[in-house]
Chains A and B, each alone.
Chain A
Amino acid sequence: MKKSALMVLALLLVLILFSGPAFCGNGELKIFTWSEYMDEENMPKDFEKATGIKVKLDMYESNEEMMAKLQAGGLGQYDIIIPTDFIITSLINLKLIVPLDHSKIPNIKNLGTKFSNASFDPGNKYSVGWQWGTVGLMYNKAKLKDSDVASWDIIFDPKKKPGSFYLIDSVREMMGITLVYLGYDFNSTNPKELKAASDLLIDTKKRKECLGFKGGVGGKNDVISGVADAAVVYNGDSIQTVSKEPDKFGFIVPKEGSEIWIDSMCIPAKAPNLEAAHKWINWVLEPEVGAALSNYNQYATPNDAAIPFLNKEDLKNPGIWPTPEITKTLHFVKDLGKSNKVVDQAWTRVKSH
């Protein structure tokens, strides 16, 4: 009995020692990012080559999920996060992110003017642009014609035959799209309008064709694997596949309009490795690095200096760089302050019926 207890103890010690480096992880740069948002294999390696700092990635599928993790004690566990514009307001208000030290980010001059003076963070006090893009519909061309998907009624109108589809599991995106489809403001806080939107979403999700809600890259992956015929997705995620197999898949921003967003790099309060975080931000802003990133993930770059290094076809792709006509229909999500709660309750209603 004693002997075996001792053996177990020894085994434990060995195991803990063995996994020791995992506990502390000195000098690592920990990035909390959307899944499949960069070349997860090579980009960390390139950064390590350039600076000698190891990178560790952790993934999320929605802004809300990321924020929940931060608020549940994740503040001291990441050095870089990549939130979307409207969330940055919340993050600043809750003091979850810290101001950047511009003297350590000389490359900040590479940002386009639109991104150095964005309304959510004028002067880049807290955030530096990472990528920007839209939300639209990815579809399987064998099942749906291009003309079918010109309007959002392909998913909202029960008379249309959309095949199986996924909605996006992200409050503001999905509510906003539903609101503009109904002819309301993308950022409406009017309870009546929100109720109408949530009713429509409830009716939609109850239909046989609707497979439910999927966050981040989930919907896009199910379209590729053939489980779904269409899904509401972020543009770049799907265009990565669409541009490789243009005969099989398509991406479109339906005519009623949708969201346009900017994702930025921020540093959480209590980040363990501030030095490395600033180095990462500066490195990403290098023209070649920024271009390689966008060429991989097929999103548009906020880095003006990187544009000459982008693939020429991508620049002409309206899915990545929307034409002025499309841009007119796109809306930024606004931070609603106190009224966030109303939208949240509308969403809970959608999910709970």
Chain B
Amino acid sequence: MKKINLLVAVSALSTMAFLYLPLMAVAFFSVNDSKYGLEWKGFTLDWYVKLFQNDLILQAASNTLVLALVSTFVSTILGTILAIGMDRFPWPGKMNTALDLVMHLPVIIPDIIFAAAMVVAFGFLRTLTSVFDPGLLNMIIAHITFQTAFVALVVRSRLAGIGKEIEEAARDLYAGTIYMLMKVTLPLLAPGIIAGAMLAFTLSLDDFVISFFTAGPDSITLPLYIYAAVRRVVTPQIHALSTLVLMVTVILVICMERITRKVNKKQKRL
């Protein structure tokens, strides 16, 4: 048994190393004072300083944020209403299956197919109006589409978890539909909605493929910028940018964990 435990520990730790080694390397070489190659030529923060003087990168950062915030905001609303609509009404079985299938589509088809469909669809819309030229609007629409499905799935599982009883009690006390929704259902749902929104936000930040197919020249996001740059040449500046993105990710994940755990604790007390 001891031997196995040791084996498990060694394997687990080397897997962690495997996940982190490349990311550490990026961080390490982001402070290397050499433009080409990987020889260590001394410590510098120049690459970071230069990032903040680069308008393109600042623009990309702001695009990434606007995209993630707007799409998360819209998709959280759409997804929540959709989840309530699906779970709180007695739909016939067949219709339920159909709705279910549509909602699962973004989860079960590879994102590149969704992206391809978007390219073709926007191509058609573009013949009607130039509003659909590649750009932030297209990206926001595409992101909302897959985020809505994910939010709805998360919120619905939470809805199923709440059960009937509390809402029935509210009705017994003569709560109207809107009153019940605002004062009973939504507050109970809040953890699910927050979890859904956070999932949507991170999915948007994490996305590359869908943005790649829908972006225009003014709506480059950070991942797109890094991809284009890497295909030309890998510079320490890109390492620096990636390291910053990584650091923001770490902070975000830790915040998410904190909030989820707090919400869970609260829930347990209820």
Contact = CB atoms under 8 A, between A and B. Distances in A.
A–B contact via C-beta, under 8 angstroms: yes
Given A22-B59, A78-B217, A35 B232 contact: yes
Residue in B63, B66, B136 whose Cβ sees the most chain A Cβ within 10 Å: B66
A1 interface: yes
A73 B37 contact: no
B36 A74 contact: no
B73 interface: yes
Contact of B36 (A22, A73, A77, A226): A226
A73 B187 contact: no
Contact of B122 (A73, A225, A226): A73
A30 B216 CA distance: 12
Contacts of A278: none
Interface in B128-148: 130, 132-136
Interface in B8-45: 36-37
A352 B72 CA distance: 38
A118 interface: no
Contacts of A215: 231
Nearest to A224: B36
Interface in A218-233: 218, 221-222, 224-226
B233 A12 contact: no
A199 interface: no
Contacts of A304: none
Given A218-B231, A218-B233, A73 B66 contact: no
A217 B232 contact: yes
Interface string A203-215: 0000000000011
B233 A76 contact: no
Interface residues on B, range: 20 to 34
B119 interface: yes
Contacts of A76: 130, 133
Interface residues of A, number: 38
A12 B73 contact: yes
A11 B62 CA distance: 13
Contact of A12 (B63, B69, B231): B69
Contact of B232 (A30, A56, A61, A226): A61
B65 interface: yes
A113 B70 CA distance: 54
A225 B36 contact: yes
B88 interface: no
B190 interface: yes
Contacts of B217: 30, 32, 56, 58, 74, 77-78
A70 to B, nearest CB: 11
A77 B216 contact: yes
A306 B217 CA distance: 32
A59 interface: yes
Contacts of B73: 8-9, 12
Nearest to B119: A72
B186 interface: yes
A314 B73 CA distance: 57
B206 interface: no
Given A1-B190, A72-B119, A77-B216, A221 B233 contact: yes
A74 B134 contact: yes
A221 B65 CA distance: 31
A18 B216 CA distance: 19
B63 A19 contact: yes
Contacts of B258: none
Contacts of B232: 35-36, 59, 61, 216-218, 221
B126 interface: yes
A218 B230 CA distance: 9
Nearest to A71: B123
Contacts of A226: 36-37
A94 to B, nearest CB: 14
A214 B231 contact: yes
A48 to B, nearest CB: 14
Contacts of B234: 225
A142 interface: no
A1 B136 CA distance: 28
B99 interface: no
B233 A15 contact: no
Residue in B119, B135, B218 whose Cβ sees the most chain A Cβ within 10 Å: B218
Nearest to B35: A225
A56 B59 CA distance: 12
A15 B69 contact: yes
A225 B69 contact: no
Contacts of B187: 1
A50 interface: no
Interface in A177-224: 214-218, 221-222, 224
Nearest to A78: B217
A16 interface: yes
Given A15-B62, A59-B232, 4 more contacts: A61-B232, A77-B217, A217-B232, A218-B232
The 3 closest A-B pairs by CB, nearest first: A221-B233, A225-B36, A58-B217
Interface of A: 1, 8-9, 11-12, 15-16, 18-19, 22-23, 25, 30, 32, 35-36, 56, 58-59, 61, 69, 72-74, 76-78, 214-218, 221-222, 224-226, 270
27 contacts: A1-B187, A12-B73, A15-B65, A19-B63, A22-B59, A22-B62, A22-B218, A25-B218, A56-B217, A73-B122, A73-B126, A73-B133, A76-B133, A77-B134, A77-B217, A78-B217, A214-B231, A215-B231, A216-B232, A218-B231, A218-B233, A221-B233, A225-B36, A225-B233, A225-B234, A226-B36, A270-B130
